A = this chain, B = another copy of it.
Amino acid sequence: MSADWIKQFPGLSRLEAAVRDVLTTKSTVVAVPEGTVIFGPGKSPQNLLLLLQGRVRVQQVSEAGREIVLYRVEAGESCVLTTACLLAHEDYSAEGIAETNVRAVAIPRAVFDDLVSQSVTFRNFIFTAYSKRITDLFQVIEDIAFQRIDIRLAQKLVDLERGTGQIKATHQQMAAELGTAREVISRQLGEFQRRGWIRQSRGTIDLVDLAGLERLAALGAE
Q: Which of B94, B123, B139 is in CB contact (< 8 Å) with A138?
A: B94
A117 to B124: give the CA distance in the assembly, Å.
12
With A62-B146, A123-B113, A137-B137 as contacts: A88 and B131 at CB distance below 8 Å: yes
Kindly state whether residue A83 has any CB partner on chain B within 8 Å.
yes
Quick check: A141 and B140 within 8 Å, CB to CB?
yes
Q: Please indicate which of the listed interface residues A70, A113, A135, A140 has the most CB atoms of chain B within 10 Å of its own CB.
A: A135
Collect the chain B residues with CB atoms within 8 Å of residue A83's CB.
127
A64 to B87: give the CA distance in the assembly, Å.
38
Kindly state whether residue A93 has any CB partner on chain B within 8 Å.
yes
Q: Please indicate which of the listed interface residues A92, A94, A120, A146 has the most CB atoms of chain B within 10 Å of its own CB.
A: A146
Give the residues from 129 to 162 in chain A that come closer than 8 angstroms, CB to CB, to chain B. Answer: 130-132, 134-135, 137-142, 144-146
Q: What is the count of identical protomers in the complex?
A: 2
Prevailing SS type, chain A contact patch: helix
Kindly state whether residue A81 has any CB partner on chain B within 8 Å.
yes
Quick check: B68 and A134 within 8 Å, CB to CB?
no
CB of A143, distance to nearest CB on chain B (Å): 10
Kindly state whether residue A85 has any CB partner on chain B within 8 Å.
yes
With A116-B116, A123-B116, A138-B60 as contacts: A85 and B131 at CB distance below 8 Å: yes
Kindly state whether residue A169 has any CB partner on chain B within 8 Å.
no
A132 to B141: give the CA distance in the assembly, Å.
17
Closest 9 CB pairs of A and B: A88-B131, A87-B127, A145-B179, A84-B130, A88-B128, A84-B131, A90-B131, A144-B144, A84-B127
A positions within 8 Å CB-CB of B: 60, 62-64, 66, 68, 70, 81, 83-85, 87-88, 90, 92-94, 113, 116-118, 120, 123-124, 127-128, 130-132, 134-135, 137-142, 144-146, 179, 222
